[in-house]
A and B are shown apart, each in its own frame.
Chain A
Amino acid sequence: MTTLPLQLEAVTYAAAGKRLLDGISLTFERGPRTVVLGPNGAGKSLLLRLCHGLLVPTAGSIRWREGDNGRRQAMVFQRPVMLRRSAAANIDYALRLQRIPADRRRARIREVLDDTGLRELAHHPARRLSVGEQQRLALARAWATAPEILFLDEPTASLDPAATRAVEDIISAIDLSGTKIVMTTHDLGQARRVADQIIFLHQGRLLEHGPAAEFFARPATPEAAAFIAGKLLW
């Protein structure tokens, strides 16, 4: 059973009379890592929340291939919320919500803690971990449920370079495990490192959608060109 591709058709989201996202149509396919790029306020986080099902579009449709009953999707937030329990118990909580039996949960928890370098911290209270460790734990928690697609909303925005590097390594590993990556960032360097595909948003509109190499070499819109050149946009 597969839930991808995910299709958005003329998705619009308005709040207080303002169109925050306007007529977005695109398809998320299995495979390439997609980075949603754009200045602050472009609607990047909003797009992810709509795709993930946390918000309902004002107009347009968001369709999973098999309907959204499967919920083979996960999301990692800029500031993930850790439950007041151990790191391992946080992962266990996510797995229990997916009704995964206890013996498989234990094995899976060990696996993702190893893969994210958190094995030694398994029994530490999650809220006592550093911000970087919490973000790795959030990735582990999302990864544990074996999602087909993982949405990441500015996952390194509050991290230092070392922690950012660790998070990017984990994202690569999740990509290699076959999970589709969709990530927002306003950091151009990160976009160049992570992206296979770029979605460029500006003021709630989808301006560009294509291979990353082409986007960076030959941006098709003046907004994207200015953004890549490091000019301030709003």
Chain B
Amino acid sequence: MSDITQAFAAAFGLIVSRDPGLLEIVLLSLRVSLTAVTLASLIGLPLGAAVALFPFPGRRGVAVLLSALMGLPPVVVGLIVYLLLSRSGPFGVLGLLFTPLAMIVAQTVLIAPIVAALARQVVEDLWVEYSEQLRSLGATPGSAIWTLLWDGRFSLITTVLAGFGRASAEVGAVMIVGGNIDHVTRVMTTAIALETSKGDLPLALGLGFILITLSLAINGTAFVLRDVTRAGH
């Protein structure tokens, strides 16, 4: 019990004193996960909408595949990206392994299917309501993609947040392709894993607090933004 209280106190101290090592880790985590969620949204939102709108053979199968990929284990994604980026892999010449960029790539691969699968559902539901009206106005499925993504923007915020939640919480993929190198690729989740195994619970717990707080803050801001803008529409 006293271990835990001590850990809490130490964690609080680290946060209040704005420990530079801690700050570095937090900023890198945010940079990696926010970039990954941005890239995954740029890929996943139009992809999900396209699967919802364009009839093509095997569409059902693609939809099922996207949903199945939502459950991709981070360590497996990490391993695959590791193989692709390792010196003997096809992208080895780029020298990306153990860089933040590799971590961004891995997280993008991990969450793009989540964004795509959820976006497909949102857009498909909207299309039921909009289909006749948009076709009547002369829209093609190609132009309707952007219309529906824009009109579904309030629901899609939740989709993007789900992706961000997954990215910021996962440890397996970034650990494998990033390597948890101090001052280079150490992020909150890998640091927590390392510090816990070393027995430095205060730092691990402090990072855990910050991770949860940031997640709450980002989700909270997004919901407030959504409600404020939705009130106008």
- Are B147 and A54 in contact (CB-based, < 8 A)? no
Is A56 interfacial (CB 8 A cutoff)?
no
CB of A77 within 8 Å of the partner chain: yes
Tally of A-B Cβ pairs under 8 angstroms: 41
Kindly state the separation between the CA atoms of A86 and B137 in the bound complex, as whole angstroms.
17
Give the chain A neighbours of B18 by CB distance below 8 A.
none
Task: Indicate whether B136 reaches chain A with its CB closer than 8 angstroms.
Answer: yes
Number of B residues contacting the other chain (C-beta, 8 Å)? 17
Please tell me if A132 contacts chain B, counting CB pairs below 8 Å.
no
Residue B135 CB within 8 A of the other chain = yes
Q: Are B136 and A74 in contact (CB under 8 A)?
A: yes
Give 1 or 0 for each of A70-112: 1 = CB within 8 Å of chain B CB: 0100110100110111000000011001100000000000000
A84 touches B150 (CB 8 A): yes
* A-side contacts of B182, CB under 8 Å: none
The answer to whether residues A83 and B147 also contact, given A125-B232, A125-B233 and a CB cut-off of 8 A, is: yes
Quick check: which of B96-104, B125-133, B189-197 contacts chain A, the rest being far away? B125-133
In the complex, the chain A residue whose C-beta lies closest to that of B154 is: A84
Q: How far is the CA of A160 from the CA of B100 in the complex (A)?
A: 62
Decide yes or no whether A128 CB sits under 8 A from chain B: yes
**B137 touching A93, Cβ below 8 Å:** yes
Decide yes or no whether A209 CB sits under 8 A from chain B. no
Asked whether A54 lies within 8 Å of B150 as measured between CB atoms, the reply is: no
CB of B143 within 8 Å of the partner chain = yes
With A97-B143, A128-B233 already in contact, the answer to whether A71 and B138 are too (CB < 8 A) is yes
Complex CA gap A155/B126 in Å reads 22
- The main secondary structure of chain A at its interface with chain B is mixed
Assess whether A81 is in contact with B147, with CB atoms less than 8 Å apart: no
Residues of A close to B133: CB separation below 8 A: 77, 80-81
User: Which residues of B are found within 8 Å of A74, using beta-carbon distances?
Assistant: 136-137
Which B residues lie within 8 Å of A119 (CB)? none
Q: How far is the CA of A85 from the CA of B146 in the complex (A)?
A: 14
Q: Are B233 and A85 in contact (CB under 8 A)?
A: yes
- B175-210 toward A: CB 8 Å interface, digit per residue (1/0)? 000000000000000000000000000000000000
Nearest opposing residue in chain B for A95, CB measure:
B137
30 contacts between A and B (CB under 8 A): A52-B136, A54-B132, A54-B135, A54-B136, A71-B138, A74-B136, A74-B137, A75-B136, A77-B132, A77-B133, A77-B136, A80-B133, A81-B130, A81-B132, A81-B133, A81-B134, A83-B147, A83-B150, A83-B151, A84-B151, A84-B233, A85-B233, A94-B137, A94-B138, A97-B138, A97-B139, A98-B138, A125-B233, A127-B233, A128-B233
A contact set with B: CB distance below 8 Å: 49, 52, 54, 71, 74-75, 77, 80-81, 83-85, 93-94, 97-98, 125, 127-128, 141
